[in-house]
Amino acid sequence: MQLIPNGRIWIDTDKGSFLGYGRIELLEKIQETGSLRKAAMEMKMSYQQAWNFIKQMNESVSEPLVITQRGGKNGGSTTLSETGLLAIETFKKYNEAFQLFIQSQSIQL
Amino acid sequence: MQLIPNGRIWIDTDKGSFLGYGRIELLEKIQETGSLRKAAMEMKMSYQQAWNFIKQMNESVSEPLVITQRGGKNGGSTTLSETGLLAIETFKKYNEAFQLFIQSQSIQL
């Protein structure tokens, strides 16, 4: 039977979790929809849960990843900052390097 | 704040899980103690759970990783086969390569 090297990656800070596959998906859905509420719904998580993730991410680095503007005629919007876009790009590069690493492994018994 | 690349690895077969950190620890404790019961206790898992892991591992490759001998004056023993020892070594090499990969990553925003 074939043995398949597998795994997953994430990024921590010295205070705990920072970014993983789920949070990247949440950031991407915020970027797509312009709304934390819609992004949370698409991720099948509660608004509160999504907001907690965003809060933790925003507090992990010097610039917030997600910017919320309240009010206005459209009832406010949620967008990614430059740092948020860079976080997605950085995680994806790390993940691509990891996928190449995995594919380079030959596991045999 | 410092961003720390992290992750974990495992090995699958096309039928599901084969080896991960927990199963390697179980195999090592079997090797140490010569007993599935003692190994399971040290891992704080039930005998049945440990046996299910062993069964799945044994059925994943052509040679069993763990060999159980019933009876005898010592009440039987559980030992690792050559394949079992090789499985530990192979996983550890994969994990060492992974740790080097992680350390080579520079994550900055």
**In a 3-state reduction of DSSP, which class is residue B32?**
helix
Nearest residue of B to residue A87, measured between CA atoms: B109
Q: List the structure tokens of B84.
A: 């079992």
H-helix or E-strand spanning residue A29: helix A21-33
Task: Assess contact for A37 and A47: CB atoms under 8 A.
Answer: yes
- Establish how many alpha carbons lie within 13 A of residue A75's alpha carbon, considering only the half-sphere containing its beta carbon: 4
Task: Assess contact for A36 and A30: CB atoms under 8 A.
Answer: yes
Contact A61 B9 (CB under 8 A): no
Question: A29: alpha, beta or left, given left = phi > 0 and alpha = psi -120 to 50?
Answer: alpha
Q: Which of B7, B63, B107 sits opposite A8 (nearest CB)?
A: B7
> Can you give the pTM of this predicted structure?
0.89
pLDDT values of chain B reduced to their tens digit, one per residue, 109 residues: 789 999 999 999 998 899 999 999 999 999 999 999 999 999 999 999 999 999 999 999 999 999 988 776 666 789 999 999 999 999 999 999 999 999 999 999 8
Task: Assess contact for A30 and A79: CB atoms under 8 A.
Answer: yes
B74 to chain A, minimum CA–CA distance in Å? Answer: 31
Contact B11 A101 (CB under 8 A): no
Within an 8 Å CB–CB cutoff, is residue A108 touching chain B? yes
Domains of chain B: 16-103 (1.10.10.10)
